[in-house]
Amino acid sequence: MATRAIGFIDSGVGGLTVVKEALKQLPNEKIMYLGDTARCPYGPRPVEQVVQFTWEMTNFLVKKNIKMLVIACNTATAVALDEIKAALDIPVVGVILPGSRASLKQTKNNRIGMIGTIGTVNSHSYLNAIKNKSPQTEVIELACPKFVPLVESKSYQTSLAKKVVAETLQPLINQKIDTLILGCTHYPLLRPIVQNVIGDNVTLVDSGAETISDVSMLLDYFDIQAPVSNETPQHEFYTTASTKMFEEIAMDWLPLSDIHVQKISLGEEKRN
């Protein structure tokens, strides 16, 4: 059990920001990553479709015998976590509760901003999770549908990105938030620009990175952490679209000296 991989799924490359934190905190763990880039973005899609796509990704990795599944995508977590967690016999972790908990720990004035995809914002998952723990906290949600395409096209350091982020975040300026949840795992790639627009007095919470603390805790709790080894784990990366762009973004973002990405197909498999 312990030597099996931890699976990560995302609509595209966003979940790599979660993997980055895993490589840092859990260097012994083997990672299997699947990004459904061919059907990205998930954000604007109907709930039922996102649930189906998430199951297709899940089934692909479950067949590869993962020991734990991280739904490293906020849109998918919002609509499919409960169902998948109930159905699988391995631990399943989403990114919304860790991000909610971290934002509550961070805020001093109980005014939290949350940016995410249309799907995540419409689910009100962050708002509900936060209000469940702290009813007096205000959560200001904002959908940023233009952010994911910027990241997937590797345009996250361009002047276009700066312009789009500045325009999109306008409704959050003067809202007196002291904490902003990056409620989409693609957004940490835009972090410097977001921080610049929103101001240094607002703390950004990276929900994906926070999730790795939960993963680490659950590895301990279920006693399935990988044994210490002198060999570096051979991570596996899969995408449903071109491997080239995926590799470029992964090499830019992760502290790995090389990376092998395989293209696979989803959609033939039937939902459980």
Write out the binding residues.
10-11, 42-43, 74-75, 185-186
In the numeric block, which tokens belong to residue 165? 């982020």
Helix (H) or strand (E) holding 251: helix 243-253
Q: How far is CA 38 from the centre of its chain?
A: 17
Residues of the binding site for substrate: 10-11, 42-43, 74-75, 185-186
C-alpha torsion angle, residues 75, 78, 83, 89 (rounded to 10): 80
Cα 108 from Cα 271, distance rounded (Å): 44
Binding mask 147-186 for its own copies (x = CB under 8 A): ----------------------------------------
Smallest distance, Å, CB 270 to its own copies? Answer: 28
Smallest distance, Å, CB 214 to its own copies? Answer: 5
214 is an interface residue for its own copies by CB under 8 A: yes
Residue 19: which of 231, 27, 226 has the closest Cα? 27
Q: Which one among 52, 175, 213, 243 touches its own copies, defined by CB under 8 A?
A: 213
Q: Which one among 217, 264, 265, 272 touches its own copies, defined by CB under 8 A?
A: 217
Smallest distance, Å, CB 42 to its own copies? Answer: 23
CA distances, 252 to each of 4, 17, 27, 190 (Å)? 27, 11, 19, 13
For residue 40, indicate whether it is catalytic: no
For residue 144, indicate whether it is catalytic: no
111: β partners? 138
Smallest distance, Å, CB 218 to its own copies? Answer: 7
Cα 245 from Cα 153, distance rounded (Å): 8
**Residue with smaller CB distance to its own copies, 81 or 250:** 81
**Residue with smaller CB distance to its own copies, 68 or 76:** 68
Site for its own copies in 95-134 (CB under 8 A): 97-98, 101, 105, 131-134
**Residue with smaller CB distance to its own copies, 12 or 183:** 183
Catalytic residue, chosen from 62, 71, 172, 184, is: 184
CA distances, 213 to each of 22, 52, 78, 200 (Å)? 9, 28, 19, 25
Q: Which region, judged by CB under 8 A, interacts with its own copies, from 141-149, 179-187, 224-232, 248-256?
A: 224-232
Cα 78 from Cα 82, distance rounded (Å): 9
**Residue with smaller CB distance to its own copies, 134 or 243:** 134
CA distances, 190 to each of 39, 137, 148, 184, 204 (Å)? 21, 26, 10, 11, 11
206: β partners? 182
How many residues lie near its own copies (CB under 8 A)? Answer: 23
By annotation, the residues acting in catalysis are 73, 184
Residues that bind its own copies (CB under 8 A): 25, 28, 91, 93, 97-98, 101, 105, 131-135, 213-214, 216-218, 220-221, 225, 227-228
